[in-house]
């Protein structure tokens, strides 16, 4: 059996300025889309070592810094969306009496969203120049992304 990640090791020229971890993430996303976008993506993702899967699907720094991480990476619209969500949840928690466990659980909503969406959001920003406010953009389409915009220009 061949390793499923061998077909996504070629790197586009625009990846030269990216750190190695981002090039690996982008190569996977270029080949398959999100890890749950298709059966092929799921199979390739499951075949990767545990550490690689965690680096592709999650971003600890984004969870730690939340909207600030998005601002630092130039995804300010999505960062403002997360900040707004965090403020809204803060108001809900402050003015309602859910009880201790639910209040504490709500404190993890924004960091978990940041953890799970930051890599894909950054990919969309770099590859497709995404200007969306939606941090979940493209995560539920269940299909790999289309070709990069530069490829369409070459066709004309």
**Predicted local distance difference test score (pLDDT) of residue 143:** 52
* pLDDT (tens digit per residue) in 98-115: 777 888 888 899 999 999
pLDDT mean over 50-77:
95
**Predicted local distance difference test score (pLDDT) of residue 148:** 47
Residue 54 has pLDDT above 80, yes or no: yes
Of 154, 127, 129, whose CA–CA distance to 23 is shortest?
Answer: 127
**Predicted local distance difference test score (pLDDT) of residue 83:** 96
Averaged confidence pLDDT in the chain: 82
> What is the three-state SS of 22-61?
HHHHHHHHHHHCCCCCCHHHHHHHHHCCHHHHHHHHCCHH
**Predicted local distance difference test score (pLDDT) of residue 101:** 82
**Predicted local distance difference test score (pLDDT) of residue 12:** 60
């Amino acid at each position: 059996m061949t390793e499923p990640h061998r077909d996504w090791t070629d790197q586009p020229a625009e990846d030269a300025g990216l750190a190695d971890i981002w090039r690996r993430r982008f190569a996977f996303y270029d080949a398959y889309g999100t890890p749950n976008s298709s059966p092929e993506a799921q199979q390739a993702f499951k075949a990767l070592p545990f550490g690689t899967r965690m680096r592709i699907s999650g971003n600890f720094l984004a969870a730690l810094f939340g909207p600030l991480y998005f601002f630092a990476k130039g995804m300010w619209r999505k960062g403002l969306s997360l900040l707004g969500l965090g403020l809204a949840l803060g108001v809900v928690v402050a003015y309602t009496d859910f009880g201790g466990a639910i209040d504490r659980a709500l404190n993890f909503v924004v960091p978990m969203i940041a953890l799970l969406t930051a890599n894909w959001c950054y990919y969309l920003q770099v590859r497709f120049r995404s200007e969306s406010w939606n941090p979940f953009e493209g995560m539920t389409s269940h299909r790999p992304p289309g070709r990069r915009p530069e490829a369409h220009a070459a066709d004309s």
